[in-house]
Amino acid sequence: MREVAVIGVGMNKWGELWEKSIRHVFVEAALMAIEDAGVDHIDSMYVGCMTSGLFVGQEHLGSLMADYLGQTPIPATRVESACASGGAAFRLGFMEVAAGMSDIVLVGGVEKMTDVGGGDATFALSTAADQEYECYQGVTFPGLYAMMAHRHMHEYGTTREQLAQVAVKNHYNG
């Protein structure tokens, strides 16, 4: 197995990017990574994304992003693994370089979840849950997390104020 290194990175602003399409969000960060790496081509790419079809009505992101990035023809694959989609995409890119199949692999993650209302977002996120055992019973991720928080509070004496500080910290660092 060959040694593997991350040679460039790019990240754009997180938030409610109303003025940008999912293509723009991905390609903006990808171009930063390519420039940071100082390379003139990529051999293949992986796009980590959970459920773009339900959030922005766009599936088949691999080839779409490669085309929009101006990198065709290369193998380009969308990777879906719920909240671990970006990490799973990174793993595949790592393995491809380590195996010697490619020298330069672009790996990125993208989501655009704020272009739909709360109910649609809850439904889209619920597609990562077990439809037969959790969703059928009416469990949503907000409900499941609320049950976990309630149990944590019961077992460890955690207060609402302490849990609120997690959100404060996350918003500050987001």
The sheet with strand 76-79 has its strands ordered as 76-79, 44-48, 105-109
pLDDT (0 to 100) of residue 136: 83
How many angstroms separate the Cα of 2 from the Cα of each of 34, 93, 101, 103, 111?
Answer: 21, 13, 10, 10, 31
pLDDT at 112: 92
* In contact, 47 and 62? CB cutoff 8 Å: yes
Say what percent of the chain tops pLDDT 70: 100
- Residue 14 · residue 174 · CB < 8 Å: yes
- Between CA 152 and CA 154 the distance in angstroms is 5
Q: Which residue has the higher pLDDT, 131 or 99?
A: 99
* Spatial separation of the C-alpha atoms in residues 124 and 54, rounded to whole Å: 6
Q: What is the CATH number of the domain that holds 63?
A: 3.40.47.10
pLDDT exceeds 90 at position 123: no
Residues 95, 133 within the same domain: no
Instruction: State pTM to two decimals.
Output: 0.84
Q: pLDDT category, 162, cuts 50, 70, 90? A: very high
| Domain carrying residue 167 | 129-173
Residue-level pLDDT at 130: 86
Q: Mean per-residue pLDDT for 63-77?
A: 96
33 and 104 belong to one structural domain: yes
pLDDT of the residue at 13: 85
Region 58-71 average pLDDT: 96
Q: How many domains does the chain have?
A: 2
